[in-house]
Structure formats: structure tokens, C-alpha cells
Amino acid sequence: MSETLRLGYVGLGNIGGPMAARLAAASPTTVFDVSDDAVARLVDAGATAADTLADLAQRSDLVSICVREDAQVRDVVADLIPHLAPGSLIAVHSTIAPATASEQAALCAEHDVLLLDAPISGGAPGAQQGRLAIMIGGDRGAYERAKAALAPAGDMIVHAGPNAGDGTRMKLARNLLHFVSFTATAEAARLAEAAGIDIAKLGRVVRHTDAITGGAGAIMLRDTTAAIAPDDFWFDVFTHVRDLGEKDLSLALDLADSLGVDLPLGRRARTDLAAGLGVPHTDSQGDER
């Protein structure tokens, strides 16, 4: 039988609020926020309000923190740890610097409290639906305890690594893809607009096909970024992706040139795609190019 933890939640914003509501529906949960309205909504959802962070700490075995920035995380942790029982857990859901997570974990360890960095992906819709991805860095045993307690809020909870900060490192890599993709989306929209294409309709096509193919994450199938050996199963798969991608990128860049549209990410993709996929072109002597 899994351990039943008393939960605390600090920070009831667009993501923290619905996430805490999911937790409160499954476990005893105490909440704190500077907004009285946010607290009232969680009380209506079944949570208990704490007057202070010290009060919340005394009622909690696992405290989730979902505030805006590193400085706020430091302030909340500092107020919590004198009042937490030995062996208590803190899960920081805010996206902070990996060094901040390591620093705060070391501080908590001095008080026999275990801190996990547990950033989340999925935004407000994911929080409302209980479909967040939660990437947890830190002690494996603490991860297992927290995973069961946080399950109502996230349907993908992964142990990113043994060190506090590993969850954040995974989240930063995930968000790098997210926002570079947004920048590439802007390039695609400029090209389509210059070509007289309705970019709202293009957006509908992109969302439709990404739902089928998986979008950018569809090629994240290997456990290494090293070059692929010719006898590896993935060699033919990724060679096909490379050849198709280079053809389509070349056509898109030719169209951009004819329309006078600058596509710096598109040009970089055309240059780097092969090596990035692990199937670089080679010359007759076998040297990569």
C-alpha cells in the first residue's frame, strides 16, 4: 500500500491553482497564496487554507511550490524549512536555474528535508486536465514517494536524474525545442504570407498533421545523439528523414529566395539536419561533410 502524504501547495496561479485542486480531490491538501481569492477557490475545491507558510509546513509531509522565479522559491523554502518535520519533502514546480535547485536542496538537507526540483510541462490546460508532465530531479526514494502523491496532477511523471537540478535541466531542453519551434513557426508564417497563403489555414494543417505524426518529438526515439552506424536499425529510418527533409527545405528556401523572404532558421536547418539526425553525408573517402 502506498504511503499517504499530507500535501501542501504554495502558489495558486494559472497552473498551480488547478494542479492543487487535482491534488486536493485525492489527498488532504493545505494551500497558501497571497491572493485571498485564489485560496478561496481551492477551499471550495476541498483544500484547507493556511494562514502562514509556517502553518502550512506543520500540516504537510510534501509541499509543492509553484511561484514565479528563483528569488520567490528561496523565500518560500526559507520560511518552510524551520517548521517541516524531519524527512519531509519539498517539490519545486517553478522553472528555476539548476544551480538554484542544487543550492536549495543543500540548504534543505541541513534540516533533514529533501528537496526535489519538479518542473512541469503542459501549461494551464494540462493542469486542468490532470495531464501534466512532471520532471523530477533528486533522490530516487524521494521521487518514488512524491510520484504517487503527485499522480492526480500528472499522467507522465519521470525521474530525470539523481541530482536536484536534473528535472530543471530536462525542462530547459524541452522548452528550448518549444520556443525554437515557435520561432520556426514565425518563419513558416512569413513564407506562407509572402506566397499569398492563408496562414490561419496553414495553422490548421500544422496542428492536424502534428497530431498524427507527433511533430518535432517524433524523432526523439534514440538514447544518444551520436552518429548512427550503417548497420543500426535507425540508420535507414533517419537517412530517409534526412533526404526528405533536405529536399523539402531546399524547395522552401528556393521559394523564399524568389519572394525575398529571409529564413535564417530554415537555412541553418538545411545545413545541420543531417548531422543532427546522426546520418551526416560522407565524401568518397568516408569523411563527414
pLDDT, position 282: 80
For CATH 1.10.1040.10, the residue range(s) in the chain are 225-289
pLDDT of 57 > 50? The answer is: yes
Taking only the tens place, the pLDDT of each residue in 231-284 is: 999 999 999 999 999 999 999 999 999 999 999 999 999 999 999 999 999 865
Q: Say whether pLDDT at 285 is over 60.
A: no
Q: Element (H or E) spanning 251, and its range?
A: helix 233-259
pLDDT digits (tens, 9 = 90+) for 86-105: 999 999 999 999 999 999 99
Q: What is the mean pLDDT of residues 142-171?
A: 96
Predicted pLDDT of residue 1: 45
Contact 66, 126 (CB under 8 A): no
Per-residue pLDDT, averaged over 156-183, amounts to: 95
Q: Is 73 in contact with 96 (CB distance < 8 Å)? A: yes
Identify the residue with better confidence: 3 or 13. 13
The mean pLDDT of 20-33, rounded to a whole number, is 97
Q: What is the pLDDT, as a whole number, of residue 4? A: 86
Contact 205, 213 (CB under 8 A): no
CATH number of 225-289: 1.10.1040.10
Dump pLDDT digits (tens) for 108-150. Answer: 999 999 999 999 999 999 999 999 999 999 999 999 999 999 9
Coil, strand or helix at 161: strand
Active site residues: 171
- Asked if 182 and 192 touch (Cβ cutoff 8 Å), the reply is no
In DSSP terms, 91 is beta-bridged to 64, 116
pLDDT tens digits along 170-212: 999 999 999 999 999 999 999 999 999 999 999 999 999 999 9
pLDDT of amino acid 286: 57
CATH code of domain 7-169 = 3.40.50.720
For the chain, give every residue range classified as CATH 3.40.50.720.
Answer: 7-169
Report pLDDT for 128: 95
**Residue among 138, 152, 117, 216 nearest 2 (CA):** 152
